[in-house]
Structures are given as C-alpha cells and as structure tokens.
Amino acid sequence: MSITTDTLTITAWRDHDPAACELPGMLLGQLEVQGGGSAAVRQLWEQGARRVELPGTVDLTDTAAAADTVRTLCLIRDLTARAVYVDWRLRTGPDPDAWRPLNHLHPPLEVEGPPDPEEVVRQWRDEHYLCKCIWRNGPGFVQIRDRRWGVLNRFTAEEPYYHQAITQLEHGTPTADLPADVLADFREERLIGEVGDLAWWLPYRIQRWIHTAMVV
C-alpha cells in the first residue's frame, strides 16, 4: 500500500539518448503517475517511457514532506530497475556521504548540500551500474546482494516476517510499524532509507539483467 495517493506529473520520452529524444515522435509528453513503486513504473514502461524527468528536488532534509520524498525515491528505485533514465535532483544536507546509500539509483543531474556537489555527481555517474543493490525472493528465503560500498555484501533471511517487512517497506512505511529486531538488522546492513519517521526499501528487484543471473 502506498503512503501517498497524490498524482505526480512527469515528462517522458521513448528513448534514453538526449539526441534521439529531440526527434519527432520521441516525446511522450507529460504523464500522470498515480501512487508509486513497481505498478506505476510498469505502466510507464508499457506506455513506452525510457527516459523520464521528475519535477522539483528530492529533499532528504525536509521531514514535513517525507511522504512525497519517499514516494519519489521508490519511483526512482523501480525506474532504475528497468534501466529507465531518470532526470532528477537531490538535496542531502551537509553530510558528504549522505548520497552513498543511494548510489545504486540512477545518478541525479544535481546534488545540493555536500561540500563538493559536483564531485559527488561525477563520482556517482562514474561508479553507477545496473544490479548494484538488488534483492530476490527465493524458495523459503530472501537474499540481498549489495555492491554499493565497493565489495559484495550478502544478506539472507529465512524468517517469513523479514519478507513481510520488505513488503511493507516497498512503498514506504512508518518505522514504528516494523518489528524492532528487523528494523535494527536493516539499519545495520544499510538496506533502508529514512526520512522523518518513514522508512523505505533501498534494494530493487531487477527487471533487466546486465549479465546472466548467476553472474550478478
């Protein structure tokens, strides 16, 4: 269940390449996205969207707008999973490393807040690749494969309530609604993002593989 039902208006194109987007027929125009997450992204994909531009700035410091921020980040996460290019902007505050938990998402156009924002954007773009932080639901277990920190970290859970918590987090949920031990584990593994009293699931379920599944 989405934490917000507001409609987000985006601009979309049929190709990811900026030059191709200038050709006749490539602009899909402004599209309304209801809710967020995988269902909204599936609809955009079926409409032909391969590049989208999001309005405004995703602001991690504005706790009053936490629901909108989490909803937009979940949308970016699931667009990244389909290798859709996302033109977006991020505000993190002064922490120079606040962007790192998000570096598996498609790189933003601009980052506001850190001491050297241009270097953050450059590094994000240079180090970004698909399948950097993903999860899968296997037979009787959930596994996360995370390369955001330069090495492969794996987190595997067999208990059903972990999967239930991931389902809650998919579109964002109050941290108070999560079991304390699960919340602590996810925080320790840096698998959730938090804005105000809301948390959201950082890894994505891959929709387009860069290699075979066994390699990733």
Can you tell me the distance from the alpha carbon of 48 to that of 142, in angstroms, rounded to the nearest whole number? 31
Residue that is written with structure tokens 């929709």 in the block? 207
Can you tell me the distance from the alpha carbon of 138 to that of 150, in angstroms, rounded to the nearest whole number? 25
Q: Count the Cβ atoms, other than its own, within 10 Å of residue 14.
A: 16
pLDDT surpasses 50 at 215? no
**Bigger pLDDT: 134 or 213?**
134
Tell me the pLDDT band of 2, cut-offs 50, 70 and 90: very low
Can you tell me the distance from the alpha carbon of 20 to that of 17, in angstroms, rounded to the nearest whole number? 5
Calculate the average pLDDT of the chain: 91
3-state secondary structure 67-102: HHHHHHHHHHHHHHHCCCEEECEEECCCCCCCCHHH
Domain parsing of the chain, residue ranges: 7-127, 133-201
Q: What is the pTM of this model?
A: 0.92
Amino acid at 2: S
93 neighbors 61 (Cβ within 8 angstroms): yes
| Helix extents (H) in the chain | 18-21, 38-46, 66-81, 117-127, 160-169, 180-188
Percent over 90 (pLDDT), the chain: 84
pLDDT at 12: 97
Tell me the pLDDT band of 3, cut-offs 50, 70 and 90: low
pLDDT in tens, 25-45: 999 999 998 866 788 899 999
CA distance readout (Å), 198 to 39, 55, 80: 21, 21, 21
pLDDT in tens, 69-117: 999 999 999 999 999 999 999 999 899 999 999 999 999 999 999 999 9
Strand order through the sheet with 153-157: 133-138, 141-146, 153-157
Residue that is written with structure tokens 């330069």 in the block? 150
Amino acid at 204: Y
Reading the block at residue 28, the tokens are 């899909």
CA distance readout (Å), 32 to 8, 12, 17, 21, 47: 6, 10, 22, 19, 12
Reading the block at residue 147, the tokens are 């390369």
Tell me the pLDDT band of 206, cut-offs 50, 70 and 90: confident
pLDDT at 29: 96
pLDDT in tens, 124-149: 999 999 999 999 988 889 999 999 99
